[in-house]
Amino acid sequence: MTLTIGIDVGGTKVAGGVVDESGNVLASNRRPTPAEDPAGTRDTIVEVAAELAAQYPQATAIGIGAAAWIDAAGSTVLFAPNLAWRDEPLQAYVSKAVGLPTVLDNDANVAAWAEFRFGVAAHADDSMVMITVGTGIGGGIVLGGKLWHGANGIAGELGHIQSVPDGHPCGCGRLGCLEQYASGNALVRFGRAGARQEPERAAKLLELAGGDALAITGRQITEAARAGDGVAMDAFAQVGYWLGVALADLAQSLDPQILVIGGGVIDAGPLLMGPAERTYRDQLAQRNRFPVAEVRAARMGNVAGVVGAADLARLAG
């Protein structure tokens, strides 16, 4: 059985694993990410990969998923907002340092690939779009059974499609991006605003935040919403609405077999999935004579990045 190494590089951790052909993680390790030190981050990736390669010398290749824009050749990190990388030739460096063929891709792409191959979309054979909802929003697109990278390697930046013309400013420089209305940060913004405007409907939420609306966190919004707090439930309804609108747009644009919602915010379960799916169906009500993509929650969890990267490395071999 072919074994490969997957590395998931984020702003706080570098996680690695040895993965078999069925997507099972046989061994894993991790290190903190020295995010302000590009060379240190690069060498931490090498340490994680080399340790796993020594443990499993039969491993044949390395796959890396990084929270960054990757060039079309899959060789260079063009830009990484949370890792201080700029035009970093990461693929060749890791391959030479560890002595194994190496594949480099975006972290959302590799997570999407894991769901397509082994997760909730494993029954699909043609296409899938995944939106990852965390602090921000990412995405991955599979068309014709392959990841779609676009002409310049940076396709799938779904958080930066526009939802609201002249809307809330986004860190990318545009106004009204989906990320400003359907991310974890947006959830917190909605919750804090609602608590200030309607404190009587936010009793539980404010209790959890010590009475300070500006101290409200995403976890507190989830806990309060599960307890029936009106403002917290409204915050999820708003995020779910904008997510559902985006899903409908993606269904109209790409006509995939399945739409997947992933990322940390889906831990809220029906609080998020319910309004997202209802809005999605409402937006496509006039298409009821045609099949539309099903909407599902991701199920690979925290291992998606490692598994997807490892599998891409295997397929490239």
pLDDT score recorded for residue 290? 80
Q: Mean pLDDT, to the nearest integer, of 301-311?
A: 97
How do residues 156-197 score in pLDDT, each as one tens digit? 999 999 999 999 999 889 999 999 999 999 999 999 999 999
Which amino acid, 54?
A: A
Closest listed residue to residue 126, CA positions, set 258, 290, 262: 258
Residues β-bridged to residue 18: 5, 27
Region 77-104: mean pLDDT is 94
Q: What is the pLDDT of residue 81?
A: 80
Cα dihedral 91, 92, 94, 99 sign? positive
Residue 302 per-residue DSSP state: G
Residue 230: count of CB within 10 angstroms of its CB: 17
Find the mean pLDDT for residues 89-111.
Answer: 97
The full 3-state SS of 200-232, as one line of letters, equals HHCHHHHHHCCCCHHHCCHHHHHHHHHCCCHHH
Bridge partners of 137?
133
CA distance 34 to 31: 9
Q: What is the pTM of this model?
A: 0.94
The bridge status of strand 146-147 relative to strand 137-143 is: antiparallel
83 neighbors 67 (Cβ within 8 angstroms): yes
pLDDT one-digit tens code per residue, 244-301: 999 999 999 999 999 999 998 889 999 999 999 999 999 998 877 788 899 999 999 9
Residue 66: per-residue pLDDT: 95
φ/ψ of residue 167, rounded to 5? -85, -155
- The CB density around residue 116, as the number of other CB atoms within 10 Å, is 28
